[in-house]
Structure 1
Amino acid sequence: MTSQPAPILLFVYNRPEHARQCIESLRRNALAAQSPLFIYSDAARQPESREGVAQTRRFIRNVDGFLSVTIIEREQNWGLARSIIDGVTTQVNRFGRVIVMEDDLIAAPHFLQFMNDALETYKDEPRVGHIQGCDFTQDPALPDTFLIKWTGSWGWATWDRAWKLFNPDGKELLRQLEERRLTRRFDFDGTYGYTRMLRRQIEGKNNSWAIRWNASLFLADVLSLNAGRSLIQN
C-alpha cells in the first residue's frame, strides 16, 4: 500500500456495546492510527430507542486512536439505507475510496491492511468495483482471494468510479434483469433469492441498499474481490 489509508465509515444506531466492540476491533488494526474515521449516528425511530441512541452518542464522542474522528449525528431517523447511501456518496466523492462498517461487525487485526492493499491494487481495474472482507462459506478450500459477481455488505470497500454505477431505483434494476433474462443467474443460478429481495425492496417490504448495489454491479458486469478467509465476524 502506497497511498493514504482510506477513510472508514461506521454506521451506528442504538447499540452502544456493539459500537464499542466494533471500534475496539478496528483500533487493534495497525492502520487505524493513519485512518480517518467517520461515524454516522442515526436518530431514534421510536421513543424506546432514544436511550440506546443517547448512550451510543455519549460513547462515540470520546473515541480516539484514529487519524481523526468525525461524528455525523442525524437529527431525524434516516434509516440505514438512506444513511449509507448518503454517507458513502459524500465521502467517496471526497476521498475517492472508502471502507464501510456497521456497528454489529468485528474486524480482524489485519482487516484494514487487506482492504487498503486491495483498494490500491485494483484502483485502476474497472472490472472490479467492490471489496468484501467477510467470507460466509468458511470453506477452507477457497484461495486467499477470489473474484465473484456478487457483493456482500459486511465490511466492504469501493471507489468513486464504481459507486457511480450505483442505481437506487429498484424498479429499473428489476426491469433490466428481467429484460435481459438474468434473474436466475442473479439468484446464484437459482440457489439464493436476490431477485425476491429486490422485489420486496420495490414493494417497501425491506429497505435494502445492499440489494440495489449488488444488482447495479451485476448488471454492469463488475466483480467483487472477496477474502477467502473471513476478516469480519458479525
Structure 2
Amino acid sequence: MEMELKQYLFHIVEAPEASTVQDTIQPLFTFLDNQLLPYTEYLIRQNVTRLLELIWAVLIDQLLCEVEDVTSPKSIASYIRLLKALDGLVDYFNNEGHYLPKDMLKTEKYRLVKKLLKYQSTDTQSLIKLYYQEKVQEQDRANSSNQSDLGKLYCRAYYHAKEETLYIEIISCKKLRPCDSNGLSDPYVELQLCPKFLYPHIEKQQTTVIKKTLNPQFNEKFEL
C-alpha cells in the first residue's frame, strides 16, 4: 500500500494548476475506501483504529518527504494543493469522529508538515512578515517566563497620526550581558522599522555608545 499512497500523493503534487484540490485528492480517497472497506466490516474497532493510525503515519511521512525534497522544485500552487489536501485528509481520517480523533491525527510530525507547507505556499514578503511575528512571539514568551538573560530595555513609543510619525524614547537598559573581558560592555541601541520593504525610506538609527557599563542610561528620543 505504501507505494500506491506515494503515487497518489505524486498525482496531487504534479496535477495541472487548473485542477481543483477535490479532483486531485478524490482518487486517493477512493483508493482508501476500497482498501479499508473489508477491514472496517470484519475487524474489531480496536484493530481498525490501529490500521488507520499506521496508514496515517505513512501518509504523513511521505508528505514530509515531498516537502523536504529539494531535488524536485515545486510551484507555490503545488504546495497550496498539498496544504489543502492535508486538511482534507484530516477530515477523511476523522470521518466526523467515527475514525480517529483529530487530536490523535495532529501529531508533532503532522504539525511540522503543516508548518513547512505553509512556509512553502507563502510568498516571500509574507514569509518575512511571519518571521518578524514569530520573533515578537519569541520575545513575549521570554519576557513572560523570565528566562531571558540578555537584560532589560526600557523605552516609550508614541505614534502621531496627523504627522504620521513614530516617536520613540530610549530610556535605559538594566542588567545587560557582559561582552568584554573586563566584565562590562559598551552598549548602544539600534532602531529600525521592519520589515524593511514596508518602510523603505526610513533609515536605521542608534543611540550613543555608553562605555563600560551594564546599566546604561540613554534618555534619547527618535523620530521614525
Q: TM-score range by the shorter chain?
A: under 0.3
Whose helix proportion is higher, 1 or 2? 2
Q: Work out which structure has the larger RCO, using CA pairs closer than 8 Å and 6 or more positions apart in sequence.
A: 1
Whose strand proportion is higher, 1 or 2? 1
State which structure, 1 or 2, has the greater radius of gyration over its C-alpha atoms: 2
